[in-house]
Amino acid sequence: MAALTLEDIDWDRERLRVPERKAGHSAACPLSAIVGEAIVDYLKHGRPQNAGWHIFHRVIAPWDSMSAGGVSCRASYYLHKAGVAVPRPGSHTLRHTCVQRLIDAHFSLKTIGDYVGHGSPEATAIYAKVSIENLREVALGDGEERRLCAFPQEAAPA
């Protein structure tokens, strides 16, 4: 997000191109109305005048464009402010949460890896955690014999 420029916003198609991700990939993401409104508000009221093409800038002088470290620092600040306790707060926490939610939604590791810019499903697998709810279901049992997996694409047919 640090490298985001005004050219990366496609207002007509409601898309946001996220440049310079892992492995040099970029991605097109949907631009929701609420995020679009927040960007417009920031551009009108929060962004330094004559700031160039980069969207996000430091809030104190020098008003250079935001760095990846600056984005992580802001993420850490707001995670703490929201009371989210994690061992290493920062933008990586948001990335990890996104991957975990996609795993929980039964997307394949290949699809998730493509989305976040990983070169292989194995690189994505390190983000995967065993679902506590699945473990609880196994521990409590329901009278049926079934296999519950940490990776949905490997689950046995129902």
> pLDDT digits over 78-116, tens only?
999 999 988 889 988 888 888 888 888 889 888 888 888
Tens of pLDDT, residue by residue over 51-88, are 788 888 887 778 888 888 888 998 999 999 999 988 88
Residue 156 in this model has a pLDDT that exceeds 50: no
First to last CA, the chain: 41
Q: What percentage of the chain carries pLDDT values higher than 70?
A: 77
Q: How confident is the model at residue 145 (pLDDT cuts 50, 70, 90)?
A: very low
Tell me which long-range contacts 83-91 makes (C-beta under 8 A, separation of at least 24): 91/1
For the ranges 98-107, 128-137, 139-148, the maximum mean pLDDT occurs at 98-107
How far is residue 130's CA from residue 31's CA, in Å, rounded to a whole number? 31
Three-state DSSP state, 54: strand
Query: In whole angstroms, what is the distance from residue 60 CA to residue 73 CA?
Result: 14
Quote the strand ranges of 108-148, DSSP E.
none
Contacts of 74 (CB under 8 A, 6+ apart): none
**In the chain, where are the structural domains located?**
1-66, 86-158
| pLDDT at residue number 10 | 94
Note the pTM of the prediction, 2 decimals: 0.63
pLDDT band, very low/low/confident/very high, at 25 (cuts 50, 70, 90): low
